[in-house]
């Protein structure tokens, strides 16, 4: 193992660390999004069917980030905003902040891994030609061995970048699908809970009362 680390050099060691980080982020976010989507499907179906206490749960505290987005729309945002899409975009970024960071880090690893591999190869080639220049009678076997070792970091960099980029796009597509679902279900939930969510009704009622007070005040002054 130590011989392999010495062969690939410091840039190769960095690439190995990046590969571990990439694997961890890919598995963690993939499993998390799968669990979130499965729980979202089950819970929202029960909410639409009106079974159990799920209507009250949507108007209360929830742990599922997708359900939480819809709950925030139903409780407050739909009462003071005509653009639910913009509200969902803000809430989506806030509830999936950690996932967005992980996906962005995957993108960064996919970009810098080939560059680090190329850097390691260039450093290795410099060392090879330095030894060849210092040798009295360099042979082709020694030159080929040095070049072979130098090219290992390029192979390692591409081996890290390719699967990382695949996971990046898969997770990005899943996040876009979540965003679309959040918008669609938010519109459905707003229609469903127009009169059933006490928090939303209280917000709308207070806004209506504020509007009436403002209108009366304006009429009195005129």
Q: What is the pLDDT of residues 92-138, one digit of tens each?
A: 888 899 999 999 999 999 999 999 999 888 888 887 777 777 766 66
Structural domain includes residue 102: yes
Structural domain includes residue 166: yes
pLDDT the model gives residue 13: 85
Structural domain includes residue 106: yes
Which tens digit of pLDDT belongs to each residue from 202-214?
434 444 444 444 4
Structural domain includes residue 135: no
Structural domain includes residue 77: yes
Inter-residue contact 75 to 181 (CB < 8 Å): no
C-alpha closest to that of 77 among 66, 62, 88, 65: 88
Question: How high does pLDDT run on average in the chain?
Answer: 77
Count of domains forming the chain:
1
Inter-residue contact 114 to 155 (CB < 8 Å): no
Which of residues 220 and 158 earns the better pLDDT score?
158
User: Terminal CA-to-CA distance of the chain, rounded, Å?
Assistant: 87
pLDDT the model gives residue 26: 95
Q: Domain residues for 87? A: 2-119+157-211
Structural domain includes residue 138: no
Structural domain includes residue 113: yes
Reading phi first (left if > 0) and then psi (alpha if -120 to 50, else beta), residue 62 is in beta
Structural domain includes residue 189: yes
pLDDT, average across residues 15-22: 93
CA angle 43, 44, 46 (to 5 degrees): 65
pLDDT the model gives residue 217: 47
């Amino acid at each position: 193992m130590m011989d392999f680390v010495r062969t690939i050099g410091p840039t190769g060691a960095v690439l190995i660390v990046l590969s571990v980080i990439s694997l961890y982020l890919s598995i963690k976010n993939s499993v998390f999004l799968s669990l979130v989507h499965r729980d979202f499907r089950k819970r929202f179906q029960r909410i639409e069917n009106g079974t159990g206490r799920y209507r009250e749960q949507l108007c209360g505290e929830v742990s599922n980030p997708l359900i939480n987005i819809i709950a925030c729309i139903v409780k407050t945002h739909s009462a003071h905003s005509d653009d639910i899409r913009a509200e969902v975009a803000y809430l989506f970024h806030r509830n999936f902040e950690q996932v967005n960071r992980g996906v962005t880090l995957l993108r960064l690893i996919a970009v810098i891994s080939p560059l680090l591999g190329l850097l390691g190869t260039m450093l290795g080639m410099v060392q090879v030609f330095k030894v060849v220049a210092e040798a009295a009678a360099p042979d082709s076997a020694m030159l080929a061995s040095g070049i072979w070792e130098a090219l290992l970091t390029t192979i390692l960099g591409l081996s890290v970048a390719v699967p990382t980029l695949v996971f990046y796009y898969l997770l990005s597509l899943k996040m876009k699908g979540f965003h679309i679902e959040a918008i669609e279900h938010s519109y459905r939930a707003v229609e469903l809970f127009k009169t059933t969510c006490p928090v939303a009704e209280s917000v709308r009622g207070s806004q209506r009362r504020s509007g009436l007070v403002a209108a009366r005040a304006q009429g009195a002054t005129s």
